[in-house]
Amino acid sequence: MRHDFDTLHNHKHQLIQHYDAVFEPSVAKRIFLQINMLHPQKLVMKIPIKLNRFMIEGPGYLHDLCRSSVIRRRDQLESHDIKSDHLDDLLSVMIRSKELEEQETIDQMRTFLSVGHDTTASSGGWAMYLLCKNPSIKARLCAELDENGPYDVPDICRKLESLPLLNAICNETLRLYPALPITVREAACDTRILDTIVPKGTWVIMSPWAINRSRAIWGDRANDFRPDAWLTTEPGTGKVHVNNHGGASHAFSQISFLHGPRICIGEKFARAELRCLVAAMALHFDFELADPDEEKTHAGVFTARPNGGIILKLKRRHETDSHSGI
């Protein structure tokens, strides 16, 4: 968007208040989520609590914020009142493509602002945590990145997507710590799940967290960090590439982004963000946990936030920046 909300310094910004009201972990939010899943939403939304007020006001605030940003950027593009090197941000690309109506562009921006922030931050934090707990894998990742540099625009995304171990680490992080540990779908018609009849309109609660860690699917080491399970070596050539199953019996076993027509629309964007974040950290820094013995658990309500965040100690790996693209 190329818009600075200054949220790192202004914690009273309305956007921050809406984020914290919904995503900041608390016992009250856990109870609210359970009530919301077990009772009609219309009834739950009438409970006079602060969270409900933000749930009602939040969509309207985000819509107005995104609409004003879209209109401002569209006017800048039409009047050519924008620098040529400021045309590659997501909003400008969507408007210039002319493939989306104004409301569709607004809806896309709402999606990236409302659910594309906390989820990627959580996944990135967990990736750092897992690499700190597995230094030999971290060393292999650094070697892979060093061997395949430099990373220059515009080939960064393509090059990072071609690195087997980097992508395997991201896949395994998303398996163990899906951004949305639990989600809900509504039956569009009368159907059946195994021997259970599911009438139209029924809410079906699914847990990517539980399925991604099921021993029946992933074996006895389902809870272990095993990125090598996502790597396959071709017989004869010895070439290593990323598989789509991670050692499970089929590609649908990992449901961090769900599957089918209701798959997360931001999956590819989220994966690209995570790849860039992990690569940038491993390229530029030696990092370790501030407390190497700390065992982290997730504390999120709607997302799998690490409890208390991930605190790292960083040291630059190189005196000069030889990987300027990332």
Whose tokens are 């790192």? That residue is: 8
Based on the fold, state whether residues 78 and 206 are members of the same structural domain: no
Residue 324 in any domain: the answer is no
pLDDT for res 203: 86
| Number of neighbours of residue 88 by Cβ within 10 angstroms | 12
Does residue 205 or residue 41 have the better pLDDT? 205
pLDDT for res 22: 66
Residue 326 in any domain: the answer is no
pLDDT for res 86: 65
- pLDDT tens column, 165-217: 999 999 999 999 998 898 888 999 999 999 999 999 998 989 999 999 999 99
CB crowding 69-78: b at 16 or more within 10 Å, else e? bbeebbebbe
Does residue 324 or residue 187 have the better pLDDT? 187
Instruction: For residue 290, name the pLDDT band (cuts at 50, 70, 90).
Output: very high
Give the Cα separation of 241 and 101 in Å (integer). Answer: 39
pLDDT for residue 11 is more than 90 = no
∠ Cα 289 181 189 (to 5°): 165
* CATH number for 183: 1.10.630.10
Question: What letter would DSSP give residue 306?
Answer: B
| Number of neighbours of residue 41 by Cβ within 10 angstroms | 13
Based on the fold, state whether residues 63 and 38 are members of the same structural domain: yes
pTM, two decimals, is 0.83
Does residue 230 or residue 303 have the better pLDDT? 230
| Number of neighbours of residue 288 by Cβ within 10 angstroms | 17
Supply the Cα-derived Rg of the chain in whole angstroms.
22
State the average pLDDT over residues 244-248: 96
pLDDT for residue 111 is more than 90 = no
Residue 242 in any domain: the answer is yes
- Can you read off the two tokens belonging to residue 116? 């594309």
pLDDT for res 59: 72
Give the Cα separation of 185 and 191 in Å (integer). Answer: 13
Is residue 140 within 8 Å of 177, Cβ to Cβ? no
Residue 132 annotated in ligand binding: no
Based on the fold, state whether residues 277 and 215 are members of the same structural domain: yes
Does residue 125 or residue 108 have the better pLDDT? 125
Q: State which of 114, 139, 156 marks the end of a domain.
A: 114
Q: State which of 91, 114, 137 marks the end of a domain.
A: 114
pLDDT for residue 266 is more than 90 = no
Is residue 225 within 8 Å of 127, Cβ to Cβ? no
- pLDDT tens column, 65-87: 889 999 988 888 888 877 766 67
pLDDT for res 47: 80
Is residue 25 within 8 Å of 301, Cβ to Cβ? yes
Based on the fold, state whether residues 126 and 57 are members of the same structural domain: no
Residue 245 in any domain: the answer is yes
pLDDT for residue 24 is more than 80 = no
Q: Using CB atoms within 10 Å of the CB of residue 317, give its burial: 0 to 12 exposed, 13 to 18 middle, 19+ buried.
A: middle
Whose tokens are 């029924």? That residue is: 202
